[in-house]
Amino acid sequence: MSPGNPEPGTAGTDLHMHSTASDGALPPAELVHRAAALGVSRLALTDHDTTAGVAEAVRAGEAAGVEVVAGVELSTLWCGREIHVVGLGMAHHPVFDQGLAYQQQQRWQRAEAIADRLHKRGLPGALQGVAGDGERAPGRSHFADWLVAQGAVRDRPQAFKRYLGRQGSAWVRPAWVSLDTGVRWIRLAGGIAVLAHPFAYRMTGAWRRRLCTAFVEAGGEAVEVVTGRTTPVQVRDGIGLALRHGLLASAGSDFHAPGTGLEPGRLLPLPDAVAPVSQLVRDHRDGGPGRAASGAPGIRPR
């Protein structure tokens, strides 16, 4: 890995965003079109615990001249904390695919348990309210929106405070895969594991360094240095984490919906001090050196 940035700048690259395949507001093709209109030429669709939207995004990207990388954002557990791991550039692999099926099952079981708790608190019908067409598993933000629509709460933050958050009355402890196993799934499918939004977790700097050490030991290769919400101070601290732990740097908006203040590709620049993960994704997709056999072009329609 050469020091410095092998790709002059990472403008136009956004490696973290969501569609209606999980809790995003835009269908994959619309998301790609919005990103293209905002100057994004390369993106990863990273829905929560699913790659169901990737095929549509790839097709839309081919038509719009946007390179679409197969992505995912896994919810994992490490030391009792929920840690998100972005995977980039996976191909289909039975262990990875079964892993996603397990995570989806956990999401449905958690949704049923949340709905039960809400029912006991006088709010029946939540599961039907959040199930949609049954294609994508409901997440807590779907419940939050349902609670707002019911008039039970004012807004999403209040929904999390009163019901869905750790202190809320409908809190359900998730049974996500472990961090180690989640990283292993991504690697088995030929993907690169990225520690998502390292400053979004409530933990001390010492715990964050422990987390990075565990992530590297598990096979993680990159850390998200820039997200749509990252401050300049956090970019500096993120670079510090990347250098200290030998991780590549990733940048992704974590865009979910228009009108939230985040937009595809709207990111602080990734400093030259660290190597961007995007180069590795490209080498890997082209079957370049240093990566295991697959050289797969990413997940495509079967």
- Rule CB under 5 A: which residues touch Mn ion? 23, 73, 84, 196, 254
Rounded Cα–Cα distance for residues 24 and 31 (Å):
9
In the block, residue with structure tokens 């309210």: 129
Pick between residue 25 and residue 273 the one whose CB is nearest to Mn ion: 25
Pick between residue 49 and residue 291 the one whose CB is nearest to Mn ion: 49
CB atoms under 10 Å from CB of 207, counted, come to: 14
**CB of residue 4 vs Mn ion: minimum separation in angstroms?**
28
Pick between residue 14 and residue 73 the one whose CB is nearest to Mn ion: 73
In a 10 Å sphere around its CB, with 0-12 CB exposed, 13-18 middle and 19+ buried, how is residue 187 labelled? buried
DSSP category for residue 23: T
What pairs with residue 17 in β-bridges?
255
Question: DSSP string of 240-265?
Answer: HHHHHHT-EEEEE--B-STTSS--TT
**CB of residue 255 vs Mn ion: minimum separation in angstroms?**
9
Tokens of 58: 């790839």
**CB of residue 160 vs Mn ion: minimum separation in angstroms?**
12
Pick between residue 83 and residue 188 the one whose CB is nearest to Mn ion: 83
- Which residue number has the CB closest to Mn ion? 84
What pairs with residue 72 in β-bridges?
87
**CB of residue 141 vs Mn ion: minimum separation in angstroms?**
6
**CB of residue 256 vs Mn ion: minimum separation in angstroms?**
6
